[in-house]
Chain A
Amino acid sequence: MMMKSKQLIDGNLDRNRGIPEISLAQKEYLQNCKRERRFIRSWQWIIMILFLGFWEVGARTGFINAFVFSSPSRVLDTVVSMAKDGSLWYHTGITLAETFLSFFLILLLGIGIAVLLWWNTRLSGILEPYLVMLNSLPKSALAPVFIVWLGANMKTIIVAAVSVAVFGTVLTLYHSFSETEEDKLKLIITLGGGKKDILKKVILPGNIPTVVSLMKVNLGLALVGVIIGEFLAAKAGLGYLIIYASQVFKLDIVISSIFLLCVISVLLYHAIAKLEKR
């Protein structure tokens, strides 16, 4: 009570001096926000510590089979030794390189095809049902076919990854292109422009936000596609490591690779989020 009344007086004083003061209610609101944030943060940590703790203790006491489930300390050991012998960088590097390559191909093909469809409404009319079908088809079903056609190599992995995301990208972009305000198109025509000018001055610059949000989705999808590809047709990469190690029952390596994938996806997500802010 004492505290409160003092603050109140202070607040009044501030007002008298003409200094922009923060009202008590505002202070309370800000404190509430802070408290809420702290609550959420602490529970995030608690969940992680409990999860890792039970896992570790369970593995050590034999409550769960450490050979099958591995354990946090074993994963840590594995990651450290993989970092030392260089295999960690090699496999992670391969997976990342494949992901980036697929990502840029998806972006390039996606924008290119979407522009083509926008340009030629007849073509888009003809192709629409095929695109819708290809978009909803589970692309992992295609991966074995790619192996037969392209061989068990990086080509298959890239094609698999591209196929996962490219159709969705084309459809989303094409619809976004088509939804451009009619009057904006009219504006360009009344200024003496044609379809090319509409594309260059209105459609492409106006759709940069759509492209960025697609990039966010596609980086994740490219990683999914690359791992599917590596499961089936690779001699290196984290996906290969997971399959290989599971087949020889080295679950430590499997879990470690999955852990590395978690780290990669978080880092990629933050990279794009940063790009979006700019």
Chain B
Amino acid sequence: MSFLEISDLNYSYHTKAGETKALSGIDFNVRKGEFLSIVGPSGCGKSTLLNIIAGLLPLREGSITMEGMPIKDHRDKIGYMLQKDHLLPWRTTEENILLGLEINKIQTKEKLLLAEHLLKQYGLYEFRKVKPAELSGGMKQRAALIRTLVMEPELLLLDEPFSALDYQTRLSVADDIYEILKKEGKTAILITHDIAEAISLSERIIVLTRRPGRIKKEIEVSLTMEDGKKPSKPSEGRSAREFAVYYQKIWKELMNHDDEI
């Protein structure tokens, strides 16, 4: 039994103009502690898939289980990271991070200690009393991740969390977040349209087709550096030997869709 099992998932949007099939026959598993990326052309239903797993959209056809139980019983074990940090500008960093605890009224001593620990660990403790406007882009994104982590989720859903950042910040934030997730032993699903990002971060990549999104290919990723070791962080992995090969492979899979039409 895998940690997360998704089988035979279909989803359609209904508008006055008609029905749009967004996902068709989605079927995959996620191992515990795995970092999985889903790539696909824009509008292929990646976000829809993530929203269904998160429970933001109803599960109509198919099944999703987490540790053998229906996903809806595990809502509190799922963390979600959005494209932008969405820190509330009128709250300090600390107040932003405690938002989830406040909403669930679980501001226990342990949770507050955990928040403090995470702030210290990830270099935000000195900035805890500061409003988000004074934080850098990378710090904001880290704060957003800590806001999710204090809820102690077991599964993290990352909806292009780096796409709003400039290129340099993007690489270093991806490193940070990868390190944090690995250290905390979280399972993560990342959706992105950045192939290089997907390869450098994940252990496995799922390529989706154009709408309606179907699974086109599953690719296991394993990178080795010149010295024969595994890359110590994602940005390093970009110069791994196999990187270009994976890139070509995924690129071809994505491009193939155009021929089908």
> Chain B residues near A181 (CB, 8 Å)?
86
Q: What separation, in Å, do the CA atoms of A167 and B250 have in the docked complex?
A: 57
Please state if B56 and A201 are interface contacts (CB–CB under 8 Å). Answer: no
- Give the interface SS of chain A, mostly helix, strand, loop or mixed: helix
Instruction: List B residues 52-81 near A (Cβ within 8 Å).
Output: 54, 56, 75-76, 78-80
Tally of A interface residues using CB under 8 Å: 17
B103 at interface, CB cutoff 8 A = yes
Checking B83, B84, B88 against A205 with a beta-carbon cut-off of 8 angstroms, the contacting residue is: B88
Given A190-B56, A192-B75, A201-B103: A206 touches B86 (CB 8 Å cut-off): no
Does A8 reach chain B (CB closer than 8 Å)?
no
Q: Return chain A residues, CB-CB under 8 Å to B99.
A: 188, 191, 201
Chain B residues near A208 (CB-CB < 8 A)? 90
How far, in angstroms, from A206 to B87 measured CA to CA in the complex? 12
Contact between A191 and B82, CB atoms less than 8 A apart: no
Judging by beta carbons under 8 Å apart, are A183 and B79 in contact?
no
Chain B CB within 8 A of A184 CB: yes
Residues of A within 8 A of B82 (CB): 183, 186-187, 190
Residues in A with CB closer than 8 Å to B54 are 190
* Cβ-defined contact, B151 with A191, below 8 A: yes
User: A28: CB under 8 A from chain B?
Assistant: no
Complex CA distance for A83 and B86, rounded to whole angstroms: 56
> Are B56's CB and A189's CB within 8 A?
yes
Which B residues, 147 to 204, have Cβ-Cβ distances below 8 Å to chain A?
147, 151
Q: Which residue of A lies closest to B103 (CB)?
A: A193
Task: Give the docked Cα–Cα distance between A168 and B79 (Å).
Answer: 40
A241 to chain B, nearest CB (A): 44
* Contact across chains for B86 and A183 when beta carbons are under 8 A apart: yes
A188 to B151, CA, bound (A): 13
Nearest chain A CB to B142 CB, angstrom units: 16
Flag if B88 contacts A206 (CB, 8 Å).
yes
Assembled-state Cα–Cα distance A252/B100 (Å): 65
Please report the C-alpha to C-alpha distance between residue A183 and residue B90 in the assembled complex, in whole angstroms. Answer: 17
0/1 interface trace, chain A 206-217, chain B, CB 8 Å (1 if under)? 101000000000
Does B104 interact with chain A (Cβ within 8 Å)? yes
Whole-angstrom distance between the alpha carbons of A188 and B80 in the complex?
Answer: 10
Q: A191-B151, A192-B75, A192-B151 are in contact. Are A183 and B103 (CB under 8 A)?
A: no
- In the complex formed, the residue of A with least CB distance to B91 is A205
Complex contacts, B90 vs chain A, CB 8 Å? 205-206, 208
B165 → A minimal CB distance (Å): 16
Q: Which residues of A lie under 8 Å from residue B76 when comparing CB positions?
A: 192
A111 within 8 A of B: no
List chain B residues, Cβ under 8 A from A243.
Answer: none
| Contact among B84, B86, B100 for A192, CB-based, below 8 A | B100
A128 within 8 A of B: no
CB-defined A-B contacts under 8 Å, sample of 25: A183-B82, A183-B84, A184-B88, A186-B80, A187-B82, A187-B86, A190-B56, A190-B79, A190-B80, A191-B103, A191-B104, A191-B147, A191-B151, A192-B75, A192-B100, A192-B104, A193-B103, A193-B104, A197-B103, A201-B99, A201-B102, A205-B88, A205-B90, A206-B88, A208-B90
B binding-site residues for A, Cβ under 8 Å: 54, 56, 75-76, 78-80, 82-84, 86, 88, 90, 99-100, 102-104, 147, 151
10 closest A-B pairs by beta carbon, nearest first, are A190-B80, A191-B100, A193-B103, A197-B103, A187-B86, A192-B104, A205-B90, A191-B103, A183-B82, A183-B86
Chain A residues with CB under 8 Å of chain B are 181, 183-184, 186-193, 197, 201-202, 205-206, 208
